[in-house]
Every structure is written in structure tokens, then in C-alpha cells.
């Protein structure tokens, strides 16, 4: 005798789901990521409470220092909490003497006793001058896996140099004048999965090289990259400071001008060419902004699983803009408003185009602890280069990649200070943004329309609004794991007034990037897989390999429904 099973609404849902999955079986590209063969079997979203509503008008600015003495052309947050700024050494005096007195003999024979770099304490505003011998003008850089700043290239006698700065209160740069394989002026740096450094491009350098960390001298490993020659707009260039990102499979995405390729860094092979991004040029001197969107992991993500890696490119200017901005009578074409977004590791991917609230050139694009992005600094017309832009873009904009298209951009509170050419910014451990620099002139000029800027600001995104303070987690660092191993579980203890579950919490990891000329080199953010959240203890899973998280130091944040904790330094290896 057969019994009848009463039909319920969820039975129909299950049948329709099975039908859809069956119908897609012959079309792998149409699978959602969590069904795709070889992909990371991400947990389906848990029904939790939505993020707290943000009042974008509650963002705020403060002056952190009135006079820092050195223009912040380059900026790096160090693992001791200090922020290193440095400028060029060949264009005359700064506004700060070396203290204690120290002088270098410049290549022109003159004695230079001015400071061109400082270690800045964002908590106290204190400044310690740094000694720099070889010119780091428009150089590249980033932290090594041991937490040292590796500064590469520059101009003049510094164009093939390496500088290493350890994070300590008495350390100065160790330097060597000639170490790199070729001239690296306006190059971009990216750490690879084993901690080696990949240095890409530079003026006239249609190649890249790989070298080990924390060494001043090493065997040369150079690989040709004809793509960089193909993307050069003659003397206008438009492909300097290329956007470079390590992808989850160990290949490297390189974007220059309006085109991009994926390369195997160890062989030089071009694995894939991506479609052209329409609208104009996005790299120096047209100088748009770019970031790798957050990488989302599941508790059971393994090395080799598919993890979607999307790249966002915004702003810039027309291909011929620099022709009009460089020399008198100068004209300042409007900056581009368009952004392009593409899945860099998906075959057949195309650019999704969306529009910012305002055009932006030579601004910064930072990833916030929450996984949102911040566009800040820059101008609404013109290009990079001295006196080549007008109309400062005072208003930061937040981009929320998880929101539907058309709802992702929100304008935040404006600054009162123009941050134009040679300005920079950094995410601090407390979630604020340090903003400094701006010098559109060949020398320091405090009487110009856009004077050389010595003030340092802090910007507080809306997640730091006072009314959200009660929801902000605090990491109990003494009880939490700070040494992480690839693919292993670890615990983070938090203090929070309310009880929370896994559906209320995100744990993110962020390696502080090196920011200069509108590009934050080495920047990425990982959203980790969580096992459980119980009794204010979070059980999380470290990324499975260096392809997703290159070895080294990261700021780890606990995000409660959109409100981040202060960051805790962790090391993964």
C-alpha cells in the first residue's frame, strides 16, 4: 500500500532547484560560484540581521598635525604603528631640517641637510626624520614578509636602488645604489605567494623582475612584458604605475592604460588577455584609481579552489589629456566619471560600467576594514604632473561592492584642504584614514593657489559615528591568536555588549599597502571563513595559501554588522 505524501511549498522549491542545476549541467560557465566544479564550496548566506544603517553625513575630518615638514609623496603604515612619508631629494629643500643634523652630498655636488622623509606617529603627531641617500622620486614599495619597508627605484641615482627600513624607533634606511635590473621610475610592486617581490614596469621599462625580500643584492631575474610597450601612448605614456594584483591561482593581473593581461610571473607567459576598458586612459599621467575587490573565503576553502577576484578601475582622463595639461596655455579636460569592474580570473569576463558621483583623477582608492572602498583626494579636471590639474575633489566617496548596481556610491563629508598631485593616504589600525601631502610644484611653494601642504588630516568614515560606538567590538588581544598558519583554525576573543552569532560577524585581514600617485601597491582584503561564534569567541580559518594571502603582517578586524573593531596585527606564514 502506497501512502501519499502531502505537498508543501518547499517541495516545489526543491524540485525547481534540481531542475535548474540539471539544466546547467552542460554549461559550466553558468554555474554560480558555489556550484562550479573546482570552486570553493562557499557556505550559503546565513539569514542574519542587516548591517546597521550608516549616516554618510556623520563622517568627519580633523587636523592631526599642523606642520609635518615633508610632503607625503609616498606613504606606508609600518607594523610598529608609525607611518613613513617621503618625498624626492633632488628638487631643493623641504620645510624640515634633519634632526639630529645629517647631510648628504647630492649628485650636483651640493650639501643637502634637509629632511626628505619622516616616520610619523599618528597617535601623538610626533615626527622623526629619516636619512635617504638615493633619490626615491616617484618610486615603488611595500612591506616585506618580515614587516620591513622595501622601497624600490626612483629617479637619477636612485633609479635602480633598493632601500630597506626596519620598523624601529632608531632605524634608518639601508640603501644600495645599483641593484635592480633596469631603471624603475613609476613602477609598481606586488608580493608573490612565497614572499618574493615582483616589480613591474617603469618609464621605458617594458618588463618586470622578481627578487627576494629583505636583501640589497641578489641575482637578476628579468622577464619581458611587451604588453607595456603596446599600451604606451607615445610621449604621453598613460601606462606608468600599472595596476598589479596577485590573483588566487598565483597568476598576476596587470592593467596599463586601458588594457589588461594575466601573466604567469615565473615564466613571463601571458595566460589571458582581457577586453579593453572603454572611455579613456586610467594610468599615469591620466591617473585613475584601482583596487582588487575583497576576496571572500569559506571555512572549507582549499588551495586551488576557485575564488572570484574582481578588479575595480575608476576615473582617469582622455588619452590626449596630458597634451593639454602639461604646458601653457594649459587646458584641463574633465576627469572621467566612469568605473569598470571585471572578474579578472573568469574566462570570457567583460567590464561592467558604472558611474561615480563626480570625476576623479589622481585620487586614492583604499579598501576599508568593512570591505567597502573609499575614493579620496585628487581633482575633477586635468592630469598628474606639476600644475596640471584644477578643481580639487574635496568629497570622499564610499563604494559598497555588495550593493546592487546604481546603489553602490555614497558621497561623504568634504575636506576643506585640496589634496592634489603627490598626496597620499592610509588606513590606520583604528579605522580612520590618514591623509597627507599635496605638492603640485617642482619645489615647495607655500604661496601658490594650491600650496605645498604640510597639514596632516584624519578622516573618520561613517562606521566611526558616535551613535555606533555601542556596537563596536573590541578584540581581546591577549587572548587571541596572532600567529596564523595557512589553512588552520584560529581564535579571536572579543568584548561586545550584545550577544552575537556567526551571521552577525565578519573577520577581515588587510596588509597595509604602499600608496603613491593614486595607487596603493600590494593592497588586498580577505573576508575569512568562520566556523562559529560562541561566548564572544570567534573560530576563524586562515587563508589556505600565499596565493590568497602572501606571507607577512596583516591588520585583522572584527566587523559587527558593518561596524569594525580596531585592527590587531597578525602574522601569517
Q: What is the pLDDT of residues 454-463, one digit of tens each?
A: 999 999 999 9
Task: Say what the pLDDT of residue 108 is.
Answer: 84
- Same domain membership, residue 500 and residue 394: no
- Same domain membership, residue 507 and residue 417: no
519 has pLDDT over 80: yes
Distance CA 243, CA 184 (A): 15
The region of weakest confidence among 3-7, 384-388, 569-573 is: 3-7
DSSP state of 337: -
Task: Say what the pLDDT of residue 106 is.
Answer: 86
Average pLDDT of span 92-103: 94
464 has pLDDT over 90: yes
Task: Say what the pLDDT of residue 107 is.
Answer: 86
- Same domain membership, residue 197 and residue 108: yes
At 152-206, the pLDDT tens digits run 999 999 999 999 999 999 999 999 999 999 999 999 999 999 999 999 999 999 9
**Residue 174 phi, psi dihedral angles, 5° rounding:** -90, 135
1 has pLDDT over 90: no
17 has pLDDT over 90: no
- Same domain membership, residue 435 and residue 501: no
- Same domain membership, residue 503 and residue 451: no
Distance CA 255, CA 311 (A): 10
What is the domain-level CATH number for residue 487? 2.60.40.10
Question: Omega into 329 within 30° of 0, i.e. cis?
Answer: yes
Task: Say what the pLDDT of residue 16 is.
Answer: 41
Residue 287 and residue 424 in contact, taking contact as beta carbons nearer than 8 Å: no
Distance CA 134, CA 156 (A): 8
Cβ neighbours for 39, distance < 8 A, ≥ 6 positions apart = 31, 33, 305, 306
Average pLDDT of span 301-327: 97
Task: Say what the pLDDT of residue 48 is.
Answer: 63
Of 445, 446, 444, 438, whose CA–CA distance to 416 is shortest? 438
- What percentage of residues in the chain have a pLDDT greater than 90? 89
Task: Say what the pLDDT of residue 115 is.
Answer: 97
Answer whether residue 53 is part of any domain.
no
At 225-249, the pLDDT tens digits run 999 999 999 999 999 999 999 999 9
What three-state secondary structure class fits 70?
coil
Average pLDDT of span 73-95: 96
Task: Say what the pLDDT of residue 23 is.
Answer: 41
Cβ neighbours for 87, distance < 8 A, ≥ 6 positions apart = 70, 71, 72, 73, 74, 94, 116, 117, 137, 422, 439
- Same domain membership, residue 306 and residue 203: yes
Average pLDDT of span 296-324: 97
Burial class (CB in 10 A: 0-12, 13-18, 19+), 473: buried
At 528-554, the pLDDT tens digits run 999 999 999 999 999 999 999 999 999
Task: Say what the pLDDT of residue 69 is.
Answer: 97
Range of the domain at 192: 58-462
- Same domain membership, residue 347 and residue 279: yes
At 275-289, the pLDDT tens digits run 999 999 999 999 999
Of the pLDDT bands very low, low, confident and very high (cuts 50, 70, 90), residue 49 is confident
Residue 339, H or E segment? strand 338-343
Answer whether residue 337 is part of any domain.
yes
At 402-454, the pLDDT tens digits run 999 999 999 999 999 999 999 999 999 999 999 999 999 999 999 999 999 99
Q: How many separate domains does the chain show?
A: 2
Question: What cell numbers appear for 153 in the block?
Answer: 627605484
- Same domain membership, residue 514 and residue 444: no
Distance CA 337, CA 313 (A): 11
- Same domain membership, residue 403 and residue 262: yes
- Same domain membership, residue 512 and residue 457: no
Task: Say what the pLDDT of residue 467 is.
Answer: 96
Question: What cell numbers appear for 1 in the block?
Answer: 500500500
Task: Say what the pLDDT of residue 109 is.
Answer: 87
- Measured in whole angstroms, the distance separating CA 366 from the mean position of its chain's CA atoms is 5
Distance CA 155, CA 163 (A): 13
Amino acid at each position: 500500500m502506497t501512502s501519499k505524501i502531502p505537498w508543501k511549498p518547499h517541495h516545489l522549491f526543491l524540485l525547481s532547484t534540481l531542475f535548474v542545476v540539471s539544466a546547467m549541467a552542460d554549461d559550466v560557465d553558468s554555474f554560480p560560484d558555489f556550484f562550479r566544479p573546482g570552486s570553493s564550496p562557499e557556505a550559503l548566506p546565513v539569514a542574519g540581521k542587516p548591517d546597521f544603517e550608516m549616516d554618510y553625513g556623520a563622517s568627519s575630518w580633523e587636523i592631526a598635525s599642523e606642520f609635518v615638514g615633508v610632503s607625503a609623496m609616498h606613504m606606508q603604515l609600518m607594523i610598529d604603528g608609525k607611518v613613513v612619508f617621503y618625498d624626492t631629494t633632488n628638487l631643493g629643500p623641504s620645510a624640515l631640517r634633519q634632526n639630529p643634523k645629517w647631510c648628504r652630498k647630492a649628485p650636483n655636488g651640493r650639501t643637502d641637510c634637509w629632511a626628505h622623509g619622516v616616520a610619523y606617529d599618528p597617535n601623538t603627531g610626533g615626527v622623526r626624520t629619516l636619512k635617504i641617500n638615493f633619490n626615491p622620486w616617484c618610486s615603488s614599495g611595500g612591506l616585506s614578509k618580515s614587516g620591513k619597508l622595501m622601497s624600490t627605484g626612483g629617479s637619477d641615482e636612485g633609479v635602480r636602488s633598493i632601500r630597506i627600513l626596519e620598523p624601529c624607533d632608531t632605524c634608518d634606511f639601508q640603501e644600495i645604489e645599483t641593484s635592480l635590473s633596469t631603471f624603475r621610475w613609476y613602477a609598481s610592486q606586488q608580493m608573490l605567494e612565497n614572499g618574493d617581490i615582483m616589480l613591474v614596469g617603469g618609464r621605458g621599462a617594458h618588463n618586470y623582475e622578481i627578487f627576494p625580500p629583505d636583501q640589497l643584492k641578489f641575482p637578476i631575474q628579468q622577464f619581458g612584458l611587451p604588453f607595456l610597450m603596446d599600451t604606451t601612448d607615445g610621449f604621453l605614456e598613460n601606462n606608468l604605475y600599472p595596476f598589479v594584483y596577485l590573483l588566487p591561482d598565483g597568476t598576476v593581473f596587470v592593467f596599463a592604460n586601458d588594457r589588461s593581461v594575466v601573466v604567469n610571473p615565473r615564466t613571463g607567459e601571458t595566460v589571458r588577455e582581457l577586453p579593453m576598458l572603454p572611455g579613456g586612459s586610467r594610468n599615469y599621467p591620466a591617473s585613475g584609481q584601482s583596487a582588487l575587490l575583497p576576496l571572500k573565503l569559506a571555512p572549507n576553502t582549499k588551495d586551488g579552489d576557485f575564488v572570484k577576484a574582481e578588479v575595480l578601475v575608476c576615473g582617469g582622463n582622455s588619452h590626449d589629456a596630458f597634451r593639454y595639461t602639461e604646458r601653457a596655455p594649459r587646458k584641463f579636460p574633465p576627469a572621467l566619471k566612469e568605473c569598470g569592474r571585471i572578474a579578472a580570473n573568469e574566462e570570457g569576463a567583460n567590464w561592467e560600467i558604472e558611474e561615480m558621483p563626480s570625476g576623479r583623477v589622481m585620487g586614492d582608492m583604499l579598501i576599508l576594514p568593512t570591505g567597502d572602498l573609499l575614493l579620496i583626494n585628487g581633482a575633477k579636471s586635468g592630469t598628474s604632473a606639476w600644475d596640471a590639474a584644477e578643481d580639487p575633489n574635496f568629497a570622499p566617496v564610499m563604494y559598497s561592492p555588495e550593493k546592487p548596481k546604481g546603489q553602490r556610491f555614497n558621497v561623504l563629508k568634504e575636506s576643506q584642504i585640496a589634496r592634489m598631485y603627490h598626496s597620499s593616504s592610509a588606513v590606520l589600525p583604528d579605522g580612520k584614514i590618514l591623509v597627507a601631502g599635496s605638492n603640485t610644484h617642482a619645489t615647495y611653494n607655500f604661496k601658490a593657489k594650491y600650496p605645498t601642504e604640510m597639514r596632516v588630516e584624519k578622516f573618520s568614515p561613517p562606521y566611526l559615528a558616535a551613535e555606533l560606538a555601542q556596537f563596536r567590538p573590541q578584540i581581546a588581544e591577549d587572548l587571541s591568536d596572532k600567529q596564523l598558519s595557512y589553512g588552520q583554525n584560529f581564535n579571536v576573543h572579543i568584548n561586545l555588549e550584545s550577544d552575537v552569532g556567526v551571521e552577525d560577524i565578519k573577520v577581515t585581514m588587510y596588509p597595509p599597502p604602499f600608496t603613491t600617485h593614486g595607487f596603493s601597491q600590494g593592497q588586498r582584503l580577505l573576508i575569512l571563513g568562520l566556523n562559529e561564534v560562541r561566548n564572544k569567541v570567534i573560530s576563524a580559518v586562515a587563508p589556505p595559501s600565499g596565493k590568497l594571502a602572501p606571507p607577512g603582517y596583516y591588520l585583522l578586524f572584527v566587523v559587527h554588522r558593518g561596524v569594525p573593531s580596531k585592527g590587531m596585527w597578525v602574522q601569517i606564514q
